[in-house]
Amino acid sequence: MRPLYKGKHFITLEEWSKEEIDKLLEVAHQLKDDFYQNRPTKYLEDKTAFLMFFEQSTRTRNSMEAGLAQLGGHANFLDTSTMQISHGESAKDTAVILSSYGHGIACRNCFWEVGNKYLRSMAEHATVPIMNLQCDLYHPMQGLADLMTIQEDKKETKNVKVSVIWAYATSHKKPISVPLTQVLLFPRYGMDVTLAHPIGYELPDWVIEKAKKNALENGGSFKITHKMEEAYRDADVVIPKNWGSWVNNPSTEVLDDVLESYKGWKCTEEMIALAAKDVSYMHALPADRGNEVEDSVIDGKHSIVYQEAENRLHTAKAVMAMTMGNK
């Protein structure tokens, strides 16, 4: 495996060409087959990565830790509340020092209008690749796994009808990074993408313009609707997931009158029945069961959420294998 992408930061898929993304997916598929066949994949033997988390994680942390171990390396989990970051140490100092200790730095920082800037600051000063484990704007690890899953499930992406749909949830005020990443990435692969959300849950204007541009340049399409049923109708893939009203309301409060007025935005059997006969239901997880989606849907025959979650391991391994290498 040639380190063609050695040292390249993985902060957003927008900064990776389609050719580079295709190579990541090719490597991910190979690593998945190796995993199933129990073949050794010691491409990063004795390499170390630092995993910095400002928030909780299940899939991201464990896919990175297990993935690096399977690649022959070691991951250091860092709860930033126990680091000197909590006393004000700068992103620059943290990046410079950790760079000197290992071969990669991965970070999750979803604080609104802070997270992506923090990652950019680390990337400016790091001498090893910075990997975005989710920030306030992007979740490239999830986007790559989602793309891999759609390719596996639908065999091709051209003109696949994918609907990214806002859904009601009360667990916490979630970042916009998952839907934002999806609407930028999927049109690049010729998909017909519908973004559906109630008034008040808009994505940034620049995202919409870029999604339209990506669709135009790659033979896909992109549209917005504020009618939930329209998004489900004849869709091949539905991704109903909550995101917060950060663009219009930066408050961290979870519940407000706007949110409560949209309890009807829920993935139900009735909504699934409007979609294509072989529609696939996806979700980055954790799903707010009973609010975002009915159990009968997420546990039903159309759900591919566990395949999607498993692919987080294989795509994470591909990113690390391609960007980390001999110093």
Cα 179–181–183 angle (5° rounding)? 65
Q: What pLDDT is stored for residue 80 in this prediction?
A: 96
Q: What pLDDT is stored for residue 4 in this prediction?
A: 63
Q: Which two tokens stand for residue 318?
A: 């591909």
CA–CA gap between residue 314 and residue 27 (Å, rounded): 9
What dotted CATH number matches 13-139+309-323? 3.40.50.1370
Instruction: Count the residues in the chain.
Output: 327
Q: What pLDDT is stored for residue 325 in this prediction?
A: 73
CA–CA gap between residue 152 and residue 139 (Å, rounded): 20
Which residues in the chain are classed under CATH 3.40.50.1370? 13-139+309-323, 141-306
Superfamily designation of domain 141-306: Aspartate/ornithine carbamoyltransferase (3.40.50.1370)
pLDDT digit string, tens, across residues 251-295: 999 999 999 999 999 999 999 999 999 999 999 999 999 999 999
Secondary structure element (H or E) that encloses residue 177, with its range: helix 177-185
Beta carbons within 8 Å of 284's beta carbon, 6+ residues apart: 59, 139, 142, 146, 178, 241, 308
Smallest CA-to-CA distance from 141 within 234, 62, 210, 203 is with 62
Q: Which residue has the tokens 């899953």?
A: 149
Q: How far is CA 206 from CA 202, 211, 212, in A?
A: 11, 9, 10
Smallest CA-to-CA distance from 193 within 204, 203, 184, 202 is with 184
- The answer to whether 181 touches 143, Cβ cutoff 8 Å, is yes
pTM across the whole model = 0.96
At 90, is the secondary structure helix, strand, or coil? coil
Q: Which two tokens stand for residue 130?
A: 């910075």
Q: Which residue has the tokens 């049923």?
A: 229
Which of the residues in the chain have pLDDT under 70? 1-4, 326-327
- The answer to whether 225 touches 194, Cβ cutoff 8 Å, is yes
pLDDT digit string, tens, across residues 186-236: 999 999 999 999 999 999 999 999 999 999 999 999 999 999 999 999 999
Q: Which two tokens stand for residue 153?
A: 């499930």
**End-to-end Cα distance, the chain:** 16
- The answer to whether 235 touches 276, Cβ cutoff 8 Å, is yes
Q: What pLDDT is stored for residue 1 in this prediction?
A: 41
CA–CA gap between residue 301 and residue 286 (Å, rounded): 19
- The answer to whether 63 touches 309, Cβ cutoff 8 Å, is no
Instruction: Return the number of other C-beta atoms located less than 10 Å from residue 288's C-beta.
Output: 18
